[in-house]
Amino acid sequence: MRAYFDTLPAFAAVQKNLSSKDKVVTYGASLVVFLVALALRAWLDPLMPAGFPFLTFFPAVVICGFVFGVRQGILVSVLSGLAAWFFFITPYRFDLSAGTLVAMGLYVFVIITDLTLIHLMMAAYRAEIAARQETQRLADNQEVMAQELDHRLKNIFATINAIISLSLKNASSAEELAARLRDRLTALGRSNLLLRGLREGEDVSLQAVIFQALEPFSIVGTPRFSASGPRVPIGGQTVVVLSLILHELGTNAAKYGALSVSTGHIDLAWRLEQPAGEESRLVIEWRETGGPVPVLRENGTGGFGSTLMKRMISGVRGQTDSSYPETGAIIRMSLPTDMLGPTETPTAP
C-alpha cells in the first residue's frame, strides 16, 4: 500500500520536486476530473431533487487534492464552485440571494475543511519520511561506529600481542617484564587518546603525536627539547606505531642518553621527501646531544626498544637507521606517506 501511495503525484512531491512537465500533467488531469464531475452532475440533474448542486464536485475536489496535490485541489474547488453556482443553483446566472450565498458559504467551509485535512496529512507524511530518513542515518552511523570500534580493538589487541611477545624475549625477571609492559601499555593508552573521537578519514598532526608521546618525560616546551617540521596529518594505526616508538626513544634517552643528565638536549625534526622515481616519504630524525657517550652492546644486537622500533615501523612499511657517535644517538625513521592514514596492524613475530 505504501509503495502505491508513493507513486501518486501528491505523495511523490513530498519526497522530491516534480518536474515542470509532471506539474502540467497533474493540472491537466485535474481539469479532466473537473470536467467529468461537471458532465456527471449535468447528466444527473434531471434525476435529482433541488438542493444538491455540489454532489459530484465534492468527490472531485477530494480526489484531486489527495492524488495530485492541494494546489490542484484548490483549482478544482474554485472551478466546481463557479460551475455549481452558475449551472445548478440558479441556472445560467450568478444568483446573489441570501439562500445562494449561504449555500456557497457552506460549500467553501466544507472544501476548506477537506483540503486542510489533506494538507495536514501530507505534512504528517513529510514528517514521517524525515523521521525515517533520520532513523536510517543514525543506524548507518551506528554501523560505521561499530565497524570503526571493531577495527580499533583489533589493532589494539594485535599491538598488545606484539609488545608482550617482544617483552618476553628480552625480560630477565617477572618484575622487569611487568615494568616494561606497564610502561608500554601506558604509552599505547596515550596514543589511543588521540584516536578517540576521530571518525573514519580524520587525522591528527604529527606534532600532536610527538608531544603526547613525550609528555611523561617533561621536556615538551622546555629548552631541553626542540621540534621542527611541517604540519603532517596522520591517522589510524600509524598514530599508535609512532607513539610507541617515540615513547621508547624517550625511555632510552632517560635511562642512558641525553635525558639522563641535566645538560642533555633532544632535537626532533621531520620532513617530507620525494626521491626521484620513488614514492614520497616522511622522514623523522631523533638527535641527542649533551648526554653520556653511547655504549653499544658487544654482540651488536639491539634490546627490546630497538627490536620494537624495527618491528613496529616495518608494519607500516617503514625503515629505521641508528647511529651512535660520541655526541649522542641519532635515529632516523622513514615511512611512505600513503601509510600515514589507517593501516593494518603489525603482527607479533
List the chain domain ranges.
2-138, 171-339
DSSP label at 22? H
Question: β-pairing, 233-234 with 319-323?
Answer: unpaired
What pLDDT, on the 0 to 100 scale, is given for residue 301? 47
Over range 291-297, report the average pLDDT. 81
> Environment class of residue 104 by beta-carbon count within 10 Å: exposed (0-12), middle (13-18) or buried (19+)?
buried
What pLDDT, on the 0 to 100 scale, is given for residue 241? 81
- The three cell numbers of residue 83 are 460551475
Classify the phi-psi angles of 172: left when phi > 0, otherwise alpha if psi is within -120 to 50, otherwise beta. Answer: alpha
What pLDDT, on the 0 to 100 scale, is given for residue 267? 95
CA distances from 295 to 300, 329, 349 (A): 11, 10, 28
266 pLDDT above the threshold of 80: yes
CA 240 – CA 244 distance, rounded (Å): 6
**DSSP helix/strand/coil, 265:** strand
- The three cell numbers of residue 57 are 464536485
Question: In 3D, which of 296, 219, 214 has the Cα closest to residue 262?
Answer: 219
CB 194 within 8 A of CB 168: no
For domain 171-339, give its CATH number from 3.40.50.620, 3.30.565.10, 1.10.3720.10, 1.10.10.10.
Answer: 3.30.565.10
pTM: 0.50
Residue for grid cell 638536549 = 265
- The three cell numbers of residue 299 are 654482540
Over range 290-305, report the average pLDDT. 67
Alpha-carbon torsion angle 81, 87, 88, 92, nearest 10: 120
CA 19 – CA 277 distance, rounded (Å): 53
Q: What percent of the chain is modeled with pLDDT above 70?
A: 79
What pLDDT, on the 0 to 100 scale, is given for residue 155? 59
Contacts of 327 (CB under 8 A, 6+ apart): 288, 289
What pLDDT, on the 0 to 100 scale, is given for residue 349? 36
CA 177 – CA 196 distance, rounded (Å): 28
Question: In 3D, which of 185, 212, 149 has the Cα closest to residue 308?
Answer: 185
Give the confidence band of 75 by pLDDT, cuts at 50, 70, 90: very high
Give the confidence band of 79 by pLDDT, cuts at 50, 70, 90: very high
The DSSP-derived string for 66-82 is HHT-HHHHHHHHHHHHH
Give the confidence band of 187 by pLDDT, cuts at 50, 70, 90: low
CA distances from 333 to 16, 107, 284 (A): 55, 85, 5
What pLDDT, on the 0 to 100 scale, is given for residue 194? 56
Contacts of 293 (CB under 8 A, 6+ apart): 326
What pLDDT, on the 0 to 100 scale, is given for residue 137? 84
CA 240 – CA 313 distance, rounded (Å): 10
Over range 136-140, report the average pLDDT. 83
Over range 177-194, report the average pLDDT. 67
| CA angle centred on 47, ends 43 and 49, rounded to 5° | 120
Contacts of 89 (CB under 8 A, 6+ apart): 53, 95, 100, 103, 104
Contacts of 318 (CB under 8 A, 6+ apart): 241, 333, 334, 335, 336, 339
Q: What string of H, E and C letters represents the secondary structure of 103-166?
A: HHHHHHHHHHHHHHHHHHHHHHHHHHHHHHHHHHHHHHHHHHHHHHHHHHHHHHHHHHHHHHHH
Question: In 3D, which of 7, 17, 114 has the Cα closest to residue 60?
Answer: 114
